[in-house]
A and B are shown apart, each in its own frame.
Chain A
């Protein structure tokens, strides 16, 4: 599993490219499609996302307030994301992964990996 955090100027494609460079692979593969979760109005939208194993998720903050993404099991943590900042994480193993915003713990979401 790997994660990448991107500043506001870069988009999902760049996020995937950063992941690729960091993975240490020797062969060039197409960047995996990243499923999007928008953080807006103090909610993860969608609040529940089902993805295939090996897919990655990109959270992008569209609020005026910083948010973060933190796994309930400490598997992944984005740190504070300011407006328009993104964070990506790739999920390899099937299961249900609950997460919350560590700044606003009322905000919760789930990734279901099949």
Chain B
């Protein structure tokens, strides 16, 4: 079921929205209804074909292995999520998982998660780890399965349909008392990766922890994200997608949109409500409305990227 944008608490959070038959559409452009021209894609023909079709779906925080009251069946809600994606009339070209694939980094949890995600019709899956995926002492469980794309560094980039995707990791170099960290080496790689790219290239950045400070007391932020954001400011369309907080929070700043996704496992409380960012228990009939995915499409008129959040119930 799509979001209801008339709920007062959400109204202020939305910088710009348009209603479509699919539910609530967020037009990812700076300012209200300002279209952002797509890059003159090197493959103009492929870019034109993608218009109107979902480019990718973001799934996040599946927490396979979690079994407490907030959701005793995370495998089931992930299966429901996959059925939702598989049921889309037009299949997305890519699936992006923004981390916390597992709950306790156990081999059995990774194995089951891969099995479940393998049910997706869209076969191209890109992942980044969450802090729940990297708790084993050698941090090998995640990387032995998903490390190839980044040569086990955790960060990598790729292009699709004229859009440049950057996968970043901010859960590997925690400083005690701190927030997420990108680190000097990764930031230097970002500089190299962006060098020479036209400012009209649409950029999609994805990482597990929020790349802006949402609520520091609960660790919702990345300490050195400003060094990333300053490098992205010159681009005409930047979409930053994160997970970690199991709820949607969004910020639009110039031509940059920052957006966190729902979990497919369990919700978390609003910032500051309660003792910490743990699992939030809700009545079972309410749970499906709090779990879901985000999908990004290319729109024809005006040419821009559009993001839709959809719940599983």
Contacts and interface: CB of A to CB of B under 8 A. Distances in A.
Interface in B44-77: 68-70
Interface in A44-93: 63-66, 68, 72, 77, 79-80, 82-83
19 contacts: A42-B218, A42-B275, A42-B276, A42-B277, A42-B278, A64-B69, A65-B279, A66-B135, A80-B135, A83-B68, A98-B176, A100-B176, A100-B177, A103-B132, A104-B219, A104-B276, A105-B176, A105-B177, A106-B219
Contacts, number: 65
Interface of A: 41-42, 63-66, 68, 72, 77, 79-80, 82-83, 98-100, 102-106, 108
Contact of B178 (A41, A77, A79, A106): A106
Given A41-B276, A42-B276, A80-B105, A106 B218 contact: yes
Nearest to A83: B68
B131 to A, nearest CB: 5
A65 B217 CA distance: 17
Given A65-B276, A65-B277, A106-B179, 8 more contacts: A63-B276, A64-B69, A66-B103, A66-B132, A72-B176, A100-B174, A106-B178, A106-B217
Interface residues of B, number: 25
Nearest to B67: A82
Nearest to A80: B135
A82 B279 contact: no
B278 A105 contact: no
Looking at B177, B178, B275, B276, the one whose CB has the most chain A CB atoms below 10 A away is B276
Looking at A41, A64, A79, A105, the one whose CB has the most chain B CB atoms below 10 A away is A105
Looking at A42, A68, A108, the one whose CB has the most chain B CB atoms below 10 A away is A42
A31 to B, nearest CB: 26
A77 B138 CA distance: 11
Given A42-B276, A64-B68, A79 B136 contact: yes
B137 interface: yes
Contacts of B132: 66, 80, 103
B261 interface: no
B217 A103 contact: no
Contacts of A63: 276, 278
A103 B176 contact: no
Interface of B: 68-70, 103-105, 131-132, 135-137, 174-179, 217-219, 275-279
B46 to A, nearest CB: 41
Given A79-B137, A83-B68, A102 B131 contact: yes
A42 B279 CA distance: 12
Contacts of A105: 174-179, 219
Contacts of A66: 103-104, 132, 135
A41 B217 CA distance: 13
A100 B105 CA distance: 18
B209 to A, nearest CB: 11
A85 to B, nearest CB: 10
Nearest to A109: B176
A64 B70 contact: yes
B113 to A, nearest CB: 16
Nearest to A100: B176
